[in-house]
Each structure stands twice: as C-alpha cells, then as structure tokens.
C-alpha cells in the first residue's frame, strides 16, 4: 500500500468519525423524545457542506472525497430527519431546510449551467465548498452568540455602541 492510499484511508476513517459525532445527539433525541439543547443548524450546514464536496469529488473523480461525503451526507440526512421527528418547532425546521435546499439547487444550477469549463468550475466549486466548510465549523457559535446577547441588559441590547464597549 503506497503512502497516498494510506492517507486516503486515514482521511476516510477520521472524517467519518467526525461526522459520527452527531450520533450522541441522535441518542439524546431518541431517549428524551426531544430536541432540547440540540442545535439544528450544524446538521443542516454540514449536510450542505457534504453535498457540495460530494459534487466536487464527482467532478474531480476523487474516490476518497466521494466516499467520505456520501457517508457524511447520509448521516446528516439521518440527523435532520430525526431532529424533525422530535422537534416542537417543525415549521422553523421545515423553512430552514427549504431555504437550504433552495440555496443548494441555485448553486448546483450555477455550476452546471453557467460554469461549464472544467478547470474554472472545479476551482470555483472548491472555493465555494471551502467557504461552506468554514460556515459549518462556525454554525454552533451562532447559538452561543444569541444566548450571550439575550443575557445582556435590555439597554445594552438596544444600543450597539454600548454593546461594543461591553464586548471589548
């Protein structure tokens, strides 16, 4: 086995391990029959991320990228489905999922209809997927910022200048 093949397998194992971290949330949802204290946005953004990289892997014909992101997308779809089953906010989850699906379709149409030249399409898709990956890692922070904002006194919330002073 050459070094590239070894790295490919290591990448698959570690990345699938990372995507499997949602299994603990899945277990919590099933046991409590609730989504309390479990965020939806990371599942949704990670699913978009996996589908984008899957498209990239198919265009690049890179088996490692295809395998990792197929498994990742399937796991995220499972997490999203289970979240939907147990959440009390079905309307919000549905709207967020539809918005993400609309974005995904628009991006896919852009890359399949308007960007047909191979190298340009691949490099722009790679850049787009990299940006979505950054968003994926930042998505859990949104809930943290919202909670921190809610804990501030109302006069600080209404005056952005005083908020800047509080956070510096």
Do the beta carbons of residue 163 and residue 156 sit within 8 Å? yes
CATH 3.40.640.10 fits 3-151, yes or no: no
Answer with the residue of higher pLDDT: 143 or 14: 14
Answer with the residue of higher pLDDT: 133 or 152: 133
Tell me: pLDDT of 29 over 90: yes
Do the beta carbons of residue 41 and residue 96 sit within 8 Å? yes
Mean of all residue pLDDT scores within the chain: 86
**Full-model pTM:** 0.79
Tell me: pLDDT of 165 over 90: no
| pLDDT over 70 percentage in the chain | 84
Which distant-in-sequence residues (6+ apart) come within 8 Å of 137 by Cβ? Answer: none
The pLDDT-based confidence of 32 (bands split at 50, 70, 90) is very high
Which distant-in-sequence residues (6+ apart) come within 8 Å of 130 by Cβ? Answer: none
For residue 66, what pLDDT is reported?
A: 95
The pLDDT-based confidence of 160 (bands split at 50, 70, 90) is low
The pLDDT-based confidence of 164 (bands split at 50, 70, 90) is low
Answer with the residue of higher pLDDT: 160 or 92: 92
For residue 150, what pLDDT is reported?
A: 63
């Amino acid at each position: 086995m050459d070094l590239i093949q070894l790295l490919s397998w290591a990448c698959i194992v570690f990345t699938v391990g990372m995507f499997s971290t949602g299994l603990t949330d899945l277990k919590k949802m099933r046991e409590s029959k609730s989504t309390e204290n479990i965020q939806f946005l990371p599942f949704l953004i990670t699913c978009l991320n996996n589908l984008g990289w899957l498209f990239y892997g198919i265009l690049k014909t890179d088996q490692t990228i295809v395998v990792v992101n197929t498994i990742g997308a399937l796991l995220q779809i499972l997490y999203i489905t289970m979240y939907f089953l147990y959440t009390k906010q079905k309307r919000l989850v549905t709207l967020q999922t539809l918005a993400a699906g609309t974005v995904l379709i628009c991006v896919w149409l852009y890359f399949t209809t308007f960007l047909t030249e191979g190298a340009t399409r691949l490099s722009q898709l790679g850049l787009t997927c990299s940006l979505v990956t950054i968003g994926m890692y930042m998505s859990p922070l949104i809930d943290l910022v919202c909670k921190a904002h809610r804990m501030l006194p109302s006069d600080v919330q209404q005056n952005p200048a005083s908020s800047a002073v509080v956070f510096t």
